[in-house]
Amino acid sequence: MQKILIVEDDTNINNLLQEALSKAGYSCEQAFSGTEAKLLLNMQEHSYALVLLDLMLPGITGEAVLEEIRKKGNLPVIVLTAKDSLDEKVKVLTSGADDYITKPFEIREVLARIQVQLRHTEEKEIKESNLSFREMVLNKATFQVSIGGKILPKITRQEFAILELLLRNPKQVFSKEDIFEYAWDEPYMGETKTLDVHISNIRKKIKTVTSEEYIETVWGIGYRLHL
């Protein structure tokens, strides 16, 4: 269950948001001052999926809380503000907020804005979990490699690591030493047969889904992707 931090000093508004978000299936924590919000974020920052943040807060201001959040990462923040001028809206967005909602607001709008931000986060995570080259896609989340949508059969941990290294640097030639140390996470001792066998196995598995070449041997050096 995704957890949302509600930072709002108006008790009625905070409780209203908490009730509505809980009914929508979210887990919520409430903060009623900037100081309390900062304390919760320092303790549990990585457990929150999103922050609803009022700007006019007792103690530390909402702007200062937002600044602290942005120093540490890209946690989605939707600002709740009574200020509706264009200059204020621009200021909020350029300060690091992902979105803003002007008070008074409709709960349905809040829920819709939250869904949009969480969807953006999910899409970004999916994109970052994938590496691609031509029609090959390496998915770190599922530990699968596919070409043209067809999944390569029974990819081992070392084979996956070899492809990950090559796909991260599609134009680079890697020595056998570099590939071995990356895939096996241990010092290279001068023996090449193990790596050569794994490269051969990868090529055979690629051949089960396509006739295209994806790994090129650079004689005397090592391997790279076939450009």
* 209: region left, alpha or beta (phi > 0 left; psi from -120 to 50 alpha): alpha
Q: CA angle, corner 101, sides to 86 and 29, nearest 5?
A: 145
Task: Specify the CATH class of 3-128 in words.
Answer: alpha beta
Output the CA torsion 54→60→61→62 (10° steps): -40
Q: What is the pLDDT of residue 193?
A: 87
**pLDDT band at 180, cuts 50/70/90?**
very high
Q: CA angle, corner 156, sides to 125 and 130, nearest 5?
A: 20
Residue 104, pLDDT above cutoff 70: yes
First CA to last CA distance, the chain: 43
**Contact (Cβ atoms closer than 8 angstroms) between residue 34 and residue 60:** yes
Both tokens of residue 198? Answer: 């794994």
What is the CATH architecture of 130-225? Orthogonal Bundle (1.10)
Report whether the peptide linkage leading into residue 187 is cis, meaning its omega lies within 30 degrees of zero: no
Cα gap 19→13, rounded to integer Å: 10
Q: How many residues does the chain have?
A: 227
Written as one letter, the residue type at 2 is Q
**Contact (Cβ atoms closer than 8 angstroms) between residue 53 and residue 62:** yes
Written as one letter, the residue type at 89 is K
Q: What is the pLDDT of residue 45?
A: 59
How does pLDDT run across 39-95, given as a tens digit for each residue? 999 887 568 999 999 999 999 999 999 999 998 888 999 999 887 777 877 888 888
| Average pLDDT, integer, range 97-117 | 93
Fold match between domain 3-128 and domain 130-225: no
Selection from 156, 153, 147 nearest residue 212 by Cα: 147
How does pLDDT run across 198-220, given as a tens digit for each residue? 999 999 999 999 999 999 999 98
Q: What is the pLDDT of residue 8?
A: 97
Give domain limits for the chain: 3-128, 130-225
CB-CB neighbours of 218 under 10 Å: 11
Using DSSP's 3-state secondary structure scheme, residue 134 falls into coil
